[in-house]
């Protein structure tokens, strides 16, 4: 396994000719299924454990029923029932659970690249239920335990007099991540679990409350309020920044880590340009680079507000993070089950 410092830069990945240019395929082994989680090794876990001071914990997950009206129409609301075999017993059952409906981790089979395929040459025929290839259980087997670093982009931009306009947000370029880190006085280290706070969840819940008060939302409406989200700029510069910092996991408090919808993106794939693949809501998405090409582990809809308030109050932005995705063989995604420990 190469040490993180021995792994080629993003620029070198773009010049590769042995595998699709811009891909990390083969760097962690021909059969690798965990991508950038390889940056998270025992050494990083030991370092992370040393960051625990008060032992205070912060759950980074929303409740599983946080969005009674689905955020994404094809991911419906779960149905939870509780039953008993007798009056002194309870058991429960969940139907209609979409693992990516709230705070989540995307597995590496979530997205393929239309021109190159799925991470590390994974056979798309095998990306089905019952086949473990590239499933989210691989992350659980490896363990997501390491140094978390919070970059509070919303606070940083507000402080410098350019608050995020959640009604008409601009994509956030990598340069802003760099400036936020510098301003907070925190350095990224190889194998970090990067948490990016845009303040989007707070905005979204306020928006849903307003719509509900105005009577615009009922239990059956599928997309009560149009989904617009601040997020990372979909560009090779963003991919380069994440890869060159050897980020193991990049998670945010927004719907897709990147800005949504991806309409402002200049990223294009050949299959769409030559008309073999129709344009869709995935056109221009950074997901198509981060997940299949780099094997980057992505988290979305993580709840970071309370953690961010504490980080700002204490002036420290690194801590330990533990996330335990479901051991669902062949799972595409999973609830994050993530906690930060200060």
Binder of ligand UVW out of 33, 300, 318, 330 (CB under 6 A): 300
Nearest-approach distance from CB 258 to ligand UVW, in angstroms:
8
CB-nearer residue toward ligand UVW: 8 or 114: 114
Outline where the chain has alpha helix (H).
Answer: 10-14, 42-49, 137-142, 153-159, 174-184, 200-213, 236-244, 270-273, 287-290, 305-314
CB-nearer residue toward ligand UVW: 75 or 156: 75
Nearest-CB residue to ligand UVW? 256
Residues 92-131 that bind ligand UVW (CB under 6 A): 100, 106
Binding segment for ligand UVW (CB under 6 A), chosen from 12-20, 87-95, 189-197, 255-263, is 255-263
CB-nearer residue toward ligand UVW: 73 or 124: 73
CB-nearer residue toward ligand UVW: 133 or 285: 285
Nearest residue to 23 via CA among 135, 116, 154 = 116
Binder of ligand UVW out of 10, 241, 260, 319 (CB under 6 A): 260
Q: Output phi, psi for 328, to 5 deg.
A: -100, 105
Torsion from C-alpha of 209, 212, 217, 220, nearest 10 degrees: 80
Binding segment for ligand UVW (CB under 6 A), chosen from 85-93, 156-164, 177-185, 254-262, is 254-262
Binder of ligand UVW out of 64, 72, 97, 277 (CB under 6 A): 72
From residue 150, give the alpha-carbon distance in Å to each of 133, 186, 198, 252, 287. Answer: 31, 9, 11, 9, 21
Half-sphere exposure (Cβ direction) of 296: Cα atoms closer than 13 Å: 31
Q: Which chain residues interact with ligand UVW by CB under 6 A? A: 72, 100, 106, 255-256, 260, 287, 300
């Amino acid at each position: 396994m190469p040490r993180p410092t021995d792994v080629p830069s993003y620029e070198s990945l773009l010049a590769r000719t042995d595998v699709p240019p811009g891909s990390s395929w083969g760097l962690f082994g021909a059969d690798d299924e965990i991508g950038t989680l390889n940056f998270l090794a025992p050494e990083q876990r030991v370092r992370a454990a040393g960051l625990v001071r008060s032992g205070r914990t912060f759950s980074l997950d929303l409740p599983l029923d946080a969005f009674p009206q689905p955020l994404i129409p094809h991911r419906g609301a779960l149905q939870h029932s509780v039953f008993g075999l007798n009056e002194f017993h309870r058991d429960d059952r969940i139907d209609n659970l979409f693992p990516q409906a709230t705070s989540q981790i995307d597995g590496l089979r979530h997205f393929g690249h239309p021109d190159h395929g799925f991470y590390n040459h994974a056979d798309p025929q095998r990306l089905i239920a019952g086949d473990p290839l590239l499933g989210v259980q691989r992350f659980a087997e490896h363990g997501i335990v390491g140094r978390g670093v919070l970059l509070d982009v919303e606070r940083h931009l507000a402080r410098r007099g350019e608050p995020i306009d959640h009604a008409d947000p601009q994509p956030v370029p990598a340069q802003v991540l760099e400036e936020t880190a510098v301003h907070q006085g925190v350095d990224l280290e190889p194998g970090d679990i990067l948490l990016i706070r845009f303040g989007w969840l707070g905005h979204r819940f306020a928006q849903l409350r307003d719509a509900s008060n105005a009577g615009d939302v009922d239990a059956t409406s599928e997309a009560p309020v149009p989904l617009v989200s601040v997020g990372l700029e979909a560009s090779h510069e963003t991919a380069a920044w994440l890869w060159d910092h050897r980020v193991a996991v990049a998670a945010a408090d927004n719907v897709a880590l990147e800005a949504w919808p991806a309409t402002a993106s200049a990223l294009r794939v050949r299959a769409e340009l030559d008309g073999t693949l129709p344009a869709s809501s995935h056109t221009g998405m950074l997901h198509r680079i981060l997940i299949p090409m780099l094997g980057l582990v992505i988290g979305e809809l993580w709840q970071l507000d309370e953690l961010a308030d504490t980080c700002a109050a204490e002036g420290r932005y690194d801590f330990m993070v533990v996330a335990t995705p479901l051991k669902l063989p062949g799972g595409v995604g999973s609830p994050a089950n993530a906690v930060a420990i200060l």
